[in-house]
Amino acid sequence: MTSIVIFTRQDVMSPDEVVNEIKRINPDKIIIESETEVAIEEIYGPIFNLIEPWLLESNKILNVLTPHLDNIHIRPNIIGEMTGGTVIHYVGSMINNRPDSPPFNRFGVPHLIAPYIGNFDDRHFDILYTCYNNIPRFHRSQMVDLLAKEKLLSQGIVTISRPETVYWKYHDGSPLFDEPDFKLHSKAEFHPNAYPKNFHKGFFDIVGETWTEHHQITEKTMKSILMFKPFIANSSKGYHLEYLFDYMGLQPYTELFDYSFDSCNTVHERVSGIVENVKRLSKLTITERQKLYKTIVHKLIHNKSKLVEILYDKSKIVPKSLQFLTDGNSHTIYGHCYDILYMRDMGWINANTTFNNISGLTQRY
């Protein structure tokens, strides 16, 4: 029987107490789940400082589950482990979390489980794109500024919060919003996992992902995939080619986009490449946009299905450091995280496994 302590950032109420409990329990494995956060040192540095001497003395390893570090030593005896399990943090709550009035197709069926077919009137192909940005990070403000330079803002639905905090070269600095009263987390429909009211409008989506330094798929990209919406992401170098296509198994929309920008080293080059795609697609008629959309329906279906498939794929969901829990034996687990709860609900963990709360963590079991 193997013992494990596992916890997340959100559940740690007292770092000192948690580290003392880990030392007392002396488990075989120690795991931190950080699959939705890449700022590892900034978040967990205080815990690392407390536990690192003991790890070295005891010759134990602490694994940090991340979306971007593939067997990388963060510190001695502290290793980042890349996993696709981040999908379960978003897809479960988003798969049915659609806009209040999703458009219907000509058969009277809302587009919850199939792409837009038949009558395209509700698809609003006259709106070229959507581009939702909340925190005005550099790469997002660059995108808005270059869209303004090319006079493309009026062809899409674009948002940017706190424009007064950004230096603009081409945009006039005016607020850009879809819903005037939007304030993140202020109500259920303004939760990050909720879809903007007009998200279904527009031919494609320009995703303003969180990071340009790391590969991390978040709810921002998943919204497009789950809504059968073609997208192009403003993110890190290789985000499309290396991460989404090679690692996750999604299919590229080469019928629409030239992905050569994805290999560019700088944010400016990648943003410029995306804007060049927008310029080219802006010249299409509405009828041509509709025809192009039909040519990629099979890919839209594949990509949504791939996300759902990952939910049931133990090789993608269960990181290497947790695979021992699926060996059919009973184990002892201290603490909790979303992965463990999900694995338990999926029946991947022996029913006789013992679950224990740990002092210093939010109680959940």
pLDDT digits (tens, 9 = 90+) for 130-162: 999 988 999 999 999 999 999 999 999 999 988
pLDDT digits (tens, 9 = 90+) for 208-248: 999 999 888 999 999 999 888 999 999 999 999 999 999 89
Q: How confident is the model at residue 104 (pLDDT cuts 50, 70, 90)?
A: very low
Exposed/middle/buried for residue 267 (C-beta within 10 Å: 0-12, 13-18, 19+): buried
Residue 127 lies in a domain: yes
Structure tokens belonging to residue 55: 């790890």
Q: 48 and 161 in one domain?
A: no
Task: Note the pTM of the prediction, 2 decimals.
Answer: 0.86
Q: Quick one: what percent of the chain has pLDDT higher than 70?
A: 89
Give the mean pLDDT of 105-110: 42
Give the mean pLDDT of 91-106: 53
End-to-end Cα separation, the chain, in angstroms: 20
Q: 252 and 105 in one domain?
A: yes
Other CB atoms within a 10 A radius of the CB of residue 117 amount to: 16
Q: Are strands 72-75 and 78-82 parallel, antiparallel or unpaired?
A: antiparallel
pLDDT over 70 at 92, yes or no: no
Q: How confident is the model at residue 118 (pLDDT cuts 50, 70, 90)?
A: very low
The owner of tokens 């019928």 is 255
Q: 124 and 31 in one domain?
A: no
Does residue 57 contact residue 17 with C-beta atoms inside 8 Å? no
Q: 252 and 116 in one domain?
A: yes
pLDDT over 60 at 124, yes or no: yes
Domain count, the chain: 2
pLDDT computed for residue 100 by the predictor: 39
Q: 205 and 67 in one domain?
A: no
Q: 121 and 262 in one domain?
A: yes
Name the residue with higher pLDDT: 290 or 188.
290
Task: Give strand pairing partners of 131.
Answer: 158
Give the mean pLDDT of 79-107: 66
pLDDT over 70 at 106, yes or no: no
pLDDT over 60 at 310, yes or no: yes
Q: 213 and 74 in one domain?
A: no
Residue 198 lies in a domain: yes
Does residue 235 contact residue 158 with C-beta atoms inside 8 Å? no
Give the mean pLDDT of 33-43: 90
As a whole number of angstroms, the distance between CA 278 and CA 16 comes to: 51
Does residue 6 contact residue 28 with C-beta atoms inside 8 Å? no
Q: How confident is the model at residue 308 (pLDDT cuts 50, 70, 90)?
A: confident
* Domain limits for position 280: 89-310
CATH number of the domain bearing residue 325: 3.40.50
pLDDT computed for residue 103 by the predictor: 47
Give the mean pLDDT of 296-317: 90
Read off φ and ψ for residue 75, nearest 5 degrees: -145, 170
74 SS3 class: strand
Q: 273 and 160 in one domain?
A: yes
Q: Are strands 29-33 and 62-66 parallel, antiparallel or unpaired?
A: parallel
pLDDT over 60 at 348, yes or no: yes
Q: 331 and 231 in one domain?
A: no
Q: How confident is the model at residue 10 (pLDDT cuts 50, 70, 90)?
A: confident
Rg of the Cα atoms in the chain: 22
Q: 242 and 161 in one domain?
A: yes
Residue 363 lies in a domain: no
pLDDT over 60 at 114, yes or no: no
pLDDT over 90 at 197, yes or no: no
Q: 176 and 56 in one domain?
A: no
Q: 281 and 202 in one domain?
A: yes
What order do you get walking across the sheet with 3-8 strand by strand? 72-75, 78-82, 62-66, 29-33, 3-8, 332-335, 354-356
As a whole number of angstroms, the distance between CA 138 and CA 125 comes to: 29
